Amino acid sequence: QDCFNRPIASSPGANIQVLERVSDDGNKTMKLLGTLNDLEDDHQRNQYANGSAFVEVSEGRVARSCLNLGSYNYLGFADDWNITCKKDVLGSLQDLPVSNSSSRNEFGTTKLHRDVEEIVARFLGKEDALVLNMGFNTNSTTIPALMGRGDLLISDELNHTSIVNGARASGAAIRIFRHNDTQHLEEILREAIVMGRPRTRRTWNKIMVVVEGIYSMEGEYCDLSNVVQVCKKYGAYIYLDEAHSIGAMGPTGRGCAEYCGVDSADIDVMMGTFTKSFGGMGGYIAGSKDTISFLRRQCAGSAYHNSLSPVVCQQILSSFKVIMGEDGSNIGKKKIQALRDNSNYFRMKLKDMGLHVLGHYDSPIMPVMLYNPTKIAAFSRECFKRGLSVVVVGFPAVPILQSRARFCISAGHTRDQLDKALAEIDEVADVLKLRYEISTFG
């Protein structure tokens, strides 16, 4: 499936309205927003996070506190009130505004923005970094600054919508390679070099390959060392989105490159977000001094979007210090280890139950296949009844018969919480007949 032709995903699994308007002549009905979903209209649900270990979930008139198995709070910083918030973030509110009401290039840059950029660059072993107010904007505004007409952008078929938006907006030619298939990537690169641009046959101005560290709908990490090898062979740049892998992968949390044993010098543009492992918001781009100073001036996220809240910068800085051990404790190290242990434990237990679990060991994202879209709402409801809050994913975020539930594990989960959740999921698996038929596999 070509992600550049697929419909843009809206909130997966959510109810999507079909808006219709009758035109002036009273006859024609114009569909403003037509879409599939939801299989059960009455399955209206509200979720209020109160911290992130638990969420208040209400369905109809019933409300209960559920164990949160769906947030990207990988290292638990989103609710480590004592570690980051109480000490530093609350303190920063004494001196700093919540918003600078200005873009980075106008009056939106504080010392804290520069401090975050310095620590990102140092963490990743890059010369410099740029911090923007959203991860989504970071992809969708830097890719068009880096790429344009006469360039070729080669993208993994499962790349995130923000990458798809950035690629489309750039005006570069786009080719898609099969998910994590570096042989296919190489075929596309070879053809691009041999054939050049369509019609004129002139050589491409530049070629950039865009991949993610962990693919969020699959729970798989990128085959990065092979991507690097192939790109080196053909002189292509690499853009790596580490939204889900920064902080969450590698022995010291430095992401997919560290995990795969790839030198960060071999990745030209390293992108990531602070929404997940850092319990904050915003995104970064790290790279060479020249690349970053070009982006500082040229990318729309820097020139036209309000800058990241200084208070959020403080949350990010404090989380980084813990991860890097610069707070003088070994809490960061323990968190990284706890995330790995919790994730591998939960994945192993789900597999032992005979569920079809996607993704790799060491990844904190665990999609469990439901396949049949009618099971989406049922799975969510059965979990809700048992005090679990789980993200369920259907079309258009994934193909219609590849519906799934997606568990995200955190260092903040206790083993006891995970064991209780697993016992409940075991029951749900019976109710919804989710297990493999053992006989089918001999």
Kindly state the smallest distance separating residue 156's Cβ from ligand PMP, in Å. Answer: 11
Q: Which is nearer to ligand PMP, 136 or 204 (CB)?
A: 136
* By the rule CB under 6 A, 322 interacts with ligand PMP: no
Which string of DSSP letters, residue by residue, matches 202-234? PPPS-EEEEEESEETTTTEEP-HHHHHHHHHHH
Backbone angles phi, psi at 421, to 5 degrees: -60, -40
* CA–CA distance, 342 with 115 (Å, rounded to integer): 32
* Nearest C-alpha neighbor of 412 from the set 49, 52, 47, 50: 52
Beta bridge partners of residue 237, listed in sequence order = 208
Alpha helices in 263-330 (DSSP H): 289-298, 300-303, 310-323
* By the rule CB under 6 A, 134 interacts with ligand PMP: yes
* By the rule CB under 6 A, 275 interacts with ligand PMP: yes
* By the rule CB under 6 A, 216 interacts with ligand PMP: yes
* By the rule CB under 6 A, 283 interacts with ligand PMP: yes
Residue number, nearest CB to ligand PMP: 135
CB 313 within 8 Å of CB 110: yes
Edge to edge, what strands does the sheet with 54-59 contain?
Answer: 45-49, 54-59, 62-68, 388-389
* By the rule CB under 6 A, 222 interacts with ligand PMP: no
Kindly state the smallest distance separating residue 35's Cβ from ligand PMP, in Å. Answer: 20
List the x/- string, 12-51, binding to ligand PMP by CB under 6 A: ----------------------------------------
* CA–CA distance, 423 with 98 (Å, rounded to integer): 43
* By the rule CB under 6 A, 243 interacts with ligand PMP: yes
Kindly state the smallest distance separating residue 137's Cβ from ligand PMP, in Å. Answer: 7
Task: Kindly identify the residues of this chain, within the stretch 352-381, that bind ligand PMP according to CB under 6 A.
Answer: none
Q: Which is nearer to ligand PMP, 134 or 238 (CB)?
A: 134
* CA–CA distance, 263 with 243 (Å, rounded to integer): 18
Q: Work out which of 155, 162, 309, 319 binds ligand PMP, going by CB under 6 A.
A: 162
The letter for the amino acid at 175 is R
Residue-wise over 227-246: b if at least 16 C-beta within 10 A, else e? bbebbeebebbbbbbbbbbb
Pairing of strands 388-389, 29-33: unpaired
Residue 52 has which token pair? 């992130």
Q: Which is nearer to ligand PMP, 73 or 417 (CB)?
A: 73
Kindly state the smallest distance separating residue 440's Cβ from ligand PMP, in Å. Answer: 33
Q: Work out which of 80, 241, 258, 327 binds ligand PMP, going by CB under 6 A.
A: 241
* By the rule CB under 6 A, 136 interacts with ligand PMP: yes
Q: Which residues contact 49 (CB under 8 A, 6 or more apart)?
A: 55, 56, 68, 71
Q: Which residues contact 15 (CB under 8 A, 6 or more apart)?
A: 37, 38, 41, 43, 44
* By the rule CB under 6 A, 160 interacts with ligand PMP: yes
Kindly state the smallest distance separating residue 375's Cβ from ligand PMP, in Å. Answer: 24
Q: Work out which of 84, 273, 315, 389 binds ligand PMP, going by CB under 6 A.
A: 273
Q: Hey, how many other C-beta atoms are within 10 angstroms of the C-beta on 45? A: 16
For ligand PMP, which stretch binds (CB under 6 A), given 86-94, 135-143, 167-175, 311-319? 135-143
* CA–CA distance, 362 with 219 (Å, rounded to integer): 9
CB 141 within 8 Å of CB 301: yes
Kindly state the smallest distance separating residue 221's Cβ from ligand PMP, in Å. Answer: 12
For ligand PMP, which stretch binds (CB under 6 A), given 85-93, 131-139, 226-234, 360-368? 131-139
Q: Which is nearer to ligand PMP, 237 or 278 (CB)?
A: 278
Q: Which is nearer to ligand PMP, 84 or 162 (CB)?
A: 162
Q: Which is nearer to ligand PMP, 212 or 327 (CB)?
A: 212
List the x/- string, 83-122, binding to ligand PMP by CB under 6 A: ----------------------------------------
Quote the longest CA-to-CA distance of the chain: 71
Kindly state the smallest distance separating residue 138's Cβ from ligand PMP, in Å. Answer: 7
Q: How far does CA 416 lie from the centroid of its chain? A: 27
Q: How many residues bind ligand PMP (CB under 6 A)?
A: 14
Residues that bind ligand PMP (CB under 6 A): 134-136, 139, 160, 162, 212, 216, 241, 243-244, 273, 275, 283
